[in-house]
Amino acid sequence: MARKTVRNNITSPELWDKVSEDNKSLVNDFIEYLKSTGKAETTVPAYFNDLQIFMIWNLQFNSNKFFVDLNKRDIMKFQNHMLNTWNLGSNRIRRLKSTLSSLSNFIESMLDDVYENYRNIINKVPSPVKQEVREKTVLEDEQVDILLNYLVENKKYQQACAVALAVSSGVRKSEILRFKVDYFKDENIIYNALYKTNEKIKTKGRGKGKFINKYVIVSKFKPYLDLWMKEREELGIINEELFVSKNNDGIWEVMKVSTLDSWAENFCKILNIDWYWHSNRHYFTTSLCKCNIPSSVIKDIVGWENIAMVDTYNDTEVDDELGKYFDADGIKKVEQKSINDIK
């Protein structure tokens, strides 16, 4: 089964049309401001969607009140509606309130000549206690092998290649679609073990994001890459992007994230677990940790700025970790393995 996310059909073009012109104008001004300050292209639509949700709630349950005139009681009502009517998790509620707070900060700092007495009140209403609403999936080696074997047996070579890339590099879902065919030439292999992209890839970060080189374990990835490259040649695909799909005109183009999402839903059914792309980031980190590769090296391979992220993504059980260092004779000498030892 797929990861369970509460989804509500809250917004619609028809309802958005009924939102007061003052509120729509305020939202549009804020969105233009975000674009002008270099917010990531994927971030701006998320802000707009959150604000649509609030403004439509405000339309239906709060008399279409002008945002600037809201009081703490209004925010409390909205939070209660999110919690008890929409059944949103604490993280989602905090995210929506954070967007409202950002809009409030925009009004306070950029529109102070128009609304000189306005003050941000969003965070005056305490948010619900933060709770884990999803159970994390810890992938086992056997599950990864079953999925890859199934895809190959059913000639789903592009899907197998995408999964292999994820488990061999720990890249995020959005980053998968930024890989190009040229990244996987023999001259891009370092230490006979890792593909190093010959150009930096856009990844998550402040503003427009940051650009870093990515590393992929050759031994785990290349068998599935070869299968997909052979099929690409047979299909006559000449795109520079590694992962592609046909558009309505029958032309191959870079794949959309929605296609990866649909694959994930199918992978859940194949394995009968909550499979999602980010679980492979945990799997990759855990695999490196099991080989006793130093955290500082793992940090650099994955592309983190903070070494503490290694512990966050390492899913090794405490007992398994202790077993590396202790046996019947006491303390063991731990042998550090190489990238090529990763199963």
pLDDT at 206 over 70: no
Average pLDDT value over all residues in the chain:
89
Q: Are 298 and 285 in contact (CB under 8 A)?
A: yes
CATH number of the structural domain spanning residue 103: 1.10.150
Is 270 a member of any domain?
yes
pLDDT at 21 over 90: yes
Q: Are 23 and 58 in contact (CB under 8 A)?
A: yes
Regarding whether 295 and 265 lie in a shared domain, the answer is: no
237-260 pLDDT, tens digit per residue, is: 999 999 999 999 999 999 999 999
Length of the chain counted residue by residue: 343
156-182 pLDDT, tens digit per residue, is: 999 999 999 999 999 999 999 999 999
SS (H, E, C) 197-232: CCCCEEECCCCCCEEECCEEEHHHHHHHHHHHHHHH
Alpha-carbon span 318 to 335, nearest angstrom: 19
| pLDDT at site 217 | 97
Domain that holds residue 323: 285-341
Q: Cα–chain-centroid distance for residue 233?
A: 31
**Average pLDDT, integer, range 22-38:** 94
- In one-letter notation, the amino acid at residue 301 is I
Regarding whether 221 and 206 lie in a shared domain, the answer is: yes
Regarding whether 185 and 102 lie in a shared domain, the answer is: no
**Average pLDDT, integer, range 91-112:** 94
| pLDDT at site 113 | 94
Regarding whether 291 and 274 lie in a shared domain, the answer is: no
Regarding whether 315 and 290 lie in a shared domain, the answer is: yes
Mean pLDDT lowest for which of 126-130, 141-145, 196-200?
A: 126-130
Is 42 a member of any domain?
yes
Mean pLDDT lowest for which of 205-214, 249-258, 288-297, 303-312?
A: 205-214
Given 242, 257, 279, the domain boundary residue is 279
Taken in order 32, 36, 41, 47, the sign of the CA dihedral is negative
Regarding whether 151 and 81 lie in a shared domain, the answer is: no
Instruction: Judge residue 135's burial from the number of C-beta atoms within 10 Å of its C-beta, 0-12 exposed, 13-18 middle, 19 or more buried.
Output: exposed
Task: Provide the pairing of β-strand 201-203 with 244-246.
Answer: unpaired
| pLDDT at site 43 | 82
Regarding whether 43 and 157 lie in a shared domain, the answer is: no
pTM, two decimals, is 0.64
| pLDDT at site 198 | 95
Regarding whether 261 and 146 lie in a shared domain, the answer is: yes
Could you give the number of structural domains in the chain?
3
Regarding whether 244 and 154 lie in a shared domain, the answer is: yes
Largest CA distance in the chain: 76
Is 317 a member of any domain?
yes
38-96 pLDDT, tens digit per residue, is: 877 778 888 999 999 999 999 999 999 999 999 999 999 999 999 999 988 888 899 99
Give the three-class secondary structure for 52.
helix
Given 245, 263, 279, the domain boundary residue is 279
Is 130 a member of any domain?
no
CATH number of the structural domain spanning residue 232: 1.10.443.10
* Residue 214 vs residue 137, higher pLDDT: 214
Rounded to a whole number, what is the distance in angstroms from the first to the last CA of the chain?
26
Given 279, 294, 312, the domain boundary residue is 279
Give the three-class secondary structure for 194.
strand
Is 8 a member of any domain?
no
300-321 pLDDT, tens digit per residue, is: 999 998 899 999 999 876 555 5
Mean pLDDT lowest for which of 7-21, 239-253, 281-295, 302-316?
A: 7-21
| pLDDT at site 24 | 97
How sure is the predictor about 128, in pLDDT bands with cuts at 50, 70 and 90? Answer: confident
| pLDDT at site 329 | 63
Regarding whether 145 and 116 lie in a shared domain, the answer is: no
| pLDDT at site 333 | 63
Q: Are 283 and 144 in contact (CB under 8 A)?
A: yes
| pLDDT at site 2 | 45
| pLDDT at site 7 | 44
Regarding whether 213 and 172 lie in a shared domain, the answer is: yes
**Average pLDDT, integer, range 227-232:** 98
Taken in order 15, 21, 23, 29, the sign of the CA dihedral is positive
Alpha-carbon span 149 to 157, nearest angstrom: 10
| pLDDT at site 337 | 60
Regarding whether 202 and 297 lie in a shared domain, the answer is: no
How sure is the predictor about 339, in pLDDT bands with cuts at 50, 70 and 90? Answer: low
Segment (H or E) for 327 = strand 326-327
